[in-house]
Structure 1
Amino acid sequence: MKNIKAIVFDFDGTLSLRSHAAYDKYRHDIKILFPEVDDTSIEFEAIVQNCMTWDQYGTVSKRFVFDQLAKTYKLDIEVTNDLASKWLDNFHEYQVLREGVVETLKELKKHYKIGCITNGDSKGQHSKLDYTDLKQYFDSVIVSGDFGIHKPDPRIFMESCKQLNVLPEEMIYVGDTFYADVYGATLADCTPVWLWPDKERPCNTDVHRIYSFTEIIKKIEEIKNQVD
């Protein structure tokens, strides 16, 4: 049996519904850029969906997204640059937690040390965690912007192990991004769990996978009961 002492989570897309937050934030900004377009129309929705495509799950800078907007729709580049630079000012206010997050964290905290490792700007990521009131459940919070290293660099996972006082093989790491989360945790010798709701997305590697956040407790028990 595996001796698991810590469960550590990614934030964006794992604890939060990052796509929902981005969608609502883009709708807000598109209303500013296109005041003449009915925000219930298919034209408005098409602009927003373009932004969601360019956004690439939040892995690119907002300047890239708004540059694409400016080029595609012949917008004033100064206005789009201003919106891009202000993206993080209130993005935390759009955060939506996945179903069951709080209840699951409360239950897990009874039995394990709980942590969070999240890539991103220090102010932006801490604001999200504060706004969603999740810090109270964590024994360790690591924001890449505070450390100058980012997932999948194994050193950031090792730092989490150090703060939680556990060995890498005693940690389960849950995340939605295969490269940053699954690959990174593997490089650090932690056990990754990939949260990806799209059951049609293929994966040719034998990794622990869940399709909803509420499956995590059951998956942890499966991992613990594995024979090395």
Structure 2
Amino acid sequence: MDDIRAIFFDLDGTLRRVKPTSQEALLAHADDLGYTVTNKGRRDAILWSHSYWADARGVQADLQQLGGRAFWEAYIQRFVEALKPQGAPLEETTAALAERFTASFRPSFSLMEGSKELLWTLRSEKFIVGLVSNRREPLTGDAIELGIIEHLNFTLAAGQVAMWKPDPGLFDAALDLAGCNPAEAVYVGDNYYADVVGAQRAGLTAVLIDQYGVYEHIADRCIVLPHAQALLNEFGLSG
């Protein structure tokens, strides 16, 4: 990647830790309730969830149509359909998980360990560093709160340009802000369906963060790393 000048990062799941994610919470509740779930079921449920959240317009339509608790109940039912807990009726399992999930799901947000050092190293090596996310509102406040604003050349929220990953238009807008062409840029994200597909459609090099180890089957389609900090090794840098 000798020609790379710019590196763009996703926010949640890449630089910012969401604890727990909806997938983590549902899997933990399934375990607590004694459901028998295979490793394949866990993997399939996580992959389904990633594909669902990658469809930003579809998610928004579901929110507008269902709203609140009904949205989460529909989401959980589809998650359970992918999870396939053994010997558990769909409706019963969905109801049990939904009751626990809606009563307790209050995720917290924090900077991923090593993220600040990663960004500092990239900036010190003269890379253009951007934060590009499918959020509706500008990301400046999030970057300030996380203490990384000084390590970024720019931030870009999908809502600012009304284009949502995997729409290549969002990546094109990021390239314009960075002043470089697609062959000179990398996008780093944790959702194959939104981040890798969108980046590659726009001609960028894609790096996938696979923290759950569920993307072995696409290792030949992009660079796959366990966490964003491993990116430094790809560039021969030490943080």
Q: Number of residue pairs matched?
A: 190
The CA RMSD over aligned residues, in Å, is 3.9
Residue deviations 1:154-211, cap 9 Å, x none? 1111111111111111111111111111111111111111111233533243311111
Residue 211 of structure 1 is matched in structure 2 by: 226
Q: Does 1:72 align with 2:95?
A: yes
Q: Does 1:191 align with 2:205?
A: yes
Gap runs ≥5 in structure 1: 27-41, 47-52, 223-228
Corresponding residue to 1:114 among 129, 137, 140: 129
Residue 17 of structure 1 is matched in structure 2 by: 17
AA aligned to 2:170 is I
Please say if residues 117 and 142 of structure 1, whose CA atoms lie closer than 8 Å, have aligned partners that are also in contact: yes
AA aligned to 2:197 is Y
Residue 159 of structure 2 is matched in structure 1 by: 145
Distance 1:188 1:69 in 2: 35
Please say if residues 21 and 96 of structure 1, whose CA atoms lie closer than 8 Å, have aligned partners that are also in contact: no
Residue 5 of structure 1 is matched in structure 2 by: 5
Distance 1:210 1:65 in 2: 35
Specify the SS of the correspondent of 2:235: helix
Report the TM-score when normalising by structure 1.
0.67
Please say if residues 99 and 213 of structure 1, whose CA atoms lie closer than 8 Å, have aligned partners that are also in contact: no
Please say if residues 143 and 149 of structure 2, whose CA atoms lie closer than 8 Å, have aligned partners that are also in contact: yes
Distance 2:119 2:224 in 1: 18
Gap runs ≥5 in structure 2: 34-44, 54-58, 75-93
Please say if residues 210 and 219 of structure 1, whose CA atoms lie closer than 8 Å, have aligned partners that are also in contact: no
Distance 2:185 2:236 in 1: 13
Corresponding residue to 2:192 among 175, 178, 181: 178
Report the TM-score when normalising by structure 2.
0.65
